[in-house]
Structure 1
């Protein structure tokens, strides 16, 4: 093909779509290629028996006015109030009691002061979080690195114990941190604080359906003169004198070559990059990544008698913060409902409620629906009695519409090694000129990570392109 693109974006998930929007809006001729038949990755919707359910993320963290992420949506012509509905409360279930805990950090601070007045160090704790919050809002890499150096060598549990003594309070903060993001409480405090702070900045449901936003992304890309090719798999790079000059794709059973000045990987690049950087340090970085926890969903509808109508819930059950590590993953031989996230959305017209349980699993474990329902019946009998129908989404269901075979919406394993060696701090793949990366790796998770890293990688491309013109 004779046409040369400014940028080829590999991967049509949220990071790839956002990158393509940013670049095309800034005058770059972009080709977005996606292996599957449709774009969206783990942010797509999935259909069962005439109903539409969230396959992956159903809201975005770190989003508010006058923030890096919020301003980015606004700059693309996507007003926050039009596309997002603010999430204000996390309902946390502990030992049959529901705590309505604010997500925003300033409101959470007032909640702690009112509900736990004996905790005299809470002000110091929230002053620390306010400092971290500014780093996230501004996308301050230097500040994030300082935060990493301060908190990566201590566990989240030990970090909380520096400020608090009340067990219930630490349990609540546990569910707002590791419980929400699938990170064990004994792992790095940096991981968990990143989750706590990013949700504390602001969080929003995508109004209606994720499909509305995905379609808007496609519209922006195409209106700005760029292209989207689905059922198109990148199988190789073309590298000349250590500079990328194109990609080789399998598209509609044909091998095609597309020429470009830059390539942005918005998908896991290991197999494609390996031949070019095998002797380089980056090969060692990428080859050591492991998949993070995988997700299994139990979805369905509740009848009109359900006590649960709307909102996000976190189930901690009889677990306490110090044993959360053991209760974080679902296994078919467990005897109690493990830590899980619940989401409910009521349909006012029919007065039925869609529900979504989210469980974490390790590896390729297959979850038995009957086992899930039995544990729900034991732990939440009122909810169980209002279930009309239910379906398990796992493995093959994910693979049918996305490359994420195991539903690993939390990206890669958040080890200290991975955090220090990913696009959290550098979007360029340095051994190959013109090669960049974005996506929900390490510290940046879910849609928030996709947006933040897409912005960083896109800005690096635009900046370097401008330098080359001078």
Structure 2
């Protein structure tokens, strides 16, 4: 039976990336994937290469990311297409904006000149958070975290602005991109702005070539990828960890990196003291985030903006008691013009019947009206919901956004960082405790690599 230096559980982008970087550092690595394909939400489906998710990603520092990927001979910048432009429709008015903070400052000032001073203060605050993230300044990040985690993002915006239209426009971005609801933590909202404010992109092929390059790097090493191995139990009968699947097969390893939904697997860790028990009790209280529905349409028109966001205050669905968040229409221009746009509806609670009877007719009508497309030219190509995501990831309920990011959710997620101090040799990546999306996942990978390297030096 093989024994490994490090075993990584989960073959999404976080697990695959840290596996490759560990191999580059000379570790003997085993990567466990519960499904038959790597990539998680960066997998593509159908011949049209329609992504499950993660189509619009934020990478604030391309140089930093390039430097990281150089260790495994991948030029990540060549895979990225800039996609900073967004259009927000709010209360009957169109706002053409950018995620880039410098551009956004100028644009908001043109639309709302009466709020110029406060707009500058707001952007400066967001920038300070972005700089703290880039520098991994833990003290500044903690200070901003404690300043915002107990406020809703609506409360936070009202501390800066009086103009309700401006608050509405800025509110539109949060629910669309980060599952941030009115009652949710301002920290989640800020992490979105700070991360996307440095640069947003599409992958040229929605991540397919990146996943292929990472997989090939693993295949060409002396490490192992085990497919269809769903880890469900961790034991430590001696000084080594044993990871079991449903069939009783086991992997023996010195260290474990959990790169998937962590809560259930963490609950199986041996608990020998009160600190371990208390930490797991808290982590178990995390509430699962929502699953976005995504609908891909073929239309004849070419779209020029990356993202069109329709504010939820205008588009309430009666079947959901007025709680339907924004929906996004994204330009998904392919060279052959096969898939021209994607519409996203993010809902915590939504049924198949509601999709068929209310959401799809509503989206069809809005595409027809807003983009001036005739009925006969609107073709629903693919719809992707909870059940589709459950096939490709271990996220409960096919959740896109991990956990509910209110104050409690964000506080608990930060506790995950302390796992290695409570269980020696156990790490968790991809949990977005610092910030949002792929960038947040990459930050957890870097932090974990640093901890593992320091452990080796001791």
TM > 0.5 fold call: yes
Q: 1:420 to 1:20 in 2, by over 3 A?
A: same
Q: 1:460 aligns with which of 446, 451, 454?
A: 451
Distance 1:461 1:371 in 2: 50
**Partners of 1:407 and 1:446 in 2: CA distance:** 16
Instruction: Report whether the alignment pairs 1:435 with 2:426.
Output: yes
Give 3-state SS (helix, strand or coil) of 1:201's partner.
coil
1:244-283 alignment to 2 at 5 Å? 244-250=240-246, 255-275=248-268, 276-277=270-271, 280-283=277-280
Q: 2:120 pairs with 107, 119, 123, which one?
A: 123
Which aligned pairs between 1:61-460 and structure 2 lie closer than 5 A? 61-67=58-64, 69=65, 71-119=67-115, 120-240=117-237, 244-250=240-246, 255-275=248-268, 276-277=270-271, 280-302=277-299, 304=300, 306=301, 308=303, 311-316=306-311, 318-319=313-314, 332=319, 338-349=325-336, 351-363=337-349, 365-366=351-352, 367-382=354-369, 383=371, 385=374, 386-404=377-395, 406-423=397-414, 426=417, 428-460=419-451
**C-alpha displacement of 1:292:** 0.6
CA contact (8 A) 2:312 2:327 kept: no
Higher percent of residues as strand = 1
Distance 1:436 1:150, change over 3 A: same
Partner Cα distance (2:318, 2:345) in 1: 10
Q: How far apart are the structure 2 equivalents of 1:419 and 1:336?
A: 22
Residue 216 and residue 376 in structure 1: after superposition, are their counterparts in 2 closer, same or farther (change >3 A)?
same
Contact 1:312 1:343 in 2 (8 A): yes
Residue 307 (structure 1) shift: 5.8
Report the CA distance between 1:145 and its aligned residue: 1.0
SS in structure 2 of the partner of residue 187 of structure 1: coil
Q: What is residue 19 of structure 2 aligned with on the other side? A: 20
Kindly tell me: are residues 372 and 450 of structure 1, through their superposed partners in 2, closer, same or farther at Cα, counting changes over 3 Å? same
For residues 227 and 144 of structure 1, what CA distance do their matches in structure 2 show?
37
SS of equivalent to 1:295: strand
**Distance (whole Å) between structure 1 residues aligned to residue 322 and residue 139 of structure 2:** 45
C-alpha contact (below 8 Å) 1:396/1:405 kept by paired residues: no
| C-alpha distance in 2 between matches for 1:364 and 1:282 | 32
- Counterpart-to-counterpart distance in 2, 1:269 and 1:166: 42
Report SS of the residue matched to 2:114: coil
Contact 1:4 1:259 in 2 (8 A): yes
SS at match of 1:261: strand
Aligned partners of 1:400 and 1:411: how far apart in 2?
Answer: 16
Report the Cα distance in structure 1 between the residues aligned to 2:448 and 2:207, rounded to whole angstroms: 23
TM-score by length of 2: 0.89
Using the alignment, how far apart are the partners of 2:438 and 2:235 within structure 1?
30
Compute the displacement of 1:311 (Å): 1.5
Change (3 A) 1:230 1:363: farther
Distance 1:234 1:124, change over 3 A: same
Which ranges of structure 1 fall in alignment gaps of 5 or more residues? none
Which has the larger helix fraction?
Answer: 2
1:7 aligns to what? 6
State how far apart, in whole Å, the 2-side matches of 1:427 and 1:87 are. 35
Change in Cα spacing, 1:283 to 1:109, as seen in structure 2 (3 Å) is same
SS at match of 1:448: helix
Following TM superposition, by how much is the alpha carbon of 1:459 offset from its aligned partner in structure 2, in angstroms? 2.0
The answer for unaligned runs of 5 or more in structure 2 is none
Alpha-carbon deviation of 1:274?
2.2
RMSD (Å), alpha carbons: 2.7
Describe the SS at the equivalent of 1:15: helix
The answer to whether the 8 A contact 2:291-2:386 is kept is no
CA distance in structure 1 between the aligned counterparts of 2:396 and 2:284, rounded to whole angstroms? 19
SS in 1 for 2:392: coil
Structure 1 window deviating more from structure 2 (395-404 vs 116-125): it is 395-404
- Measured against aligned partners, the alpha-carbon deviations of 1:184-208 in whole angstroms (never above 9, x if no partner) come to 1332211111111111021121112
CA contact (8 A) 2:292 2:346 kept: yes
Tell me the number of residue pairs that the alignment of Structure 1 and Structure 2 aligns.
448
Distance 2:14 2:205 in 1: 21
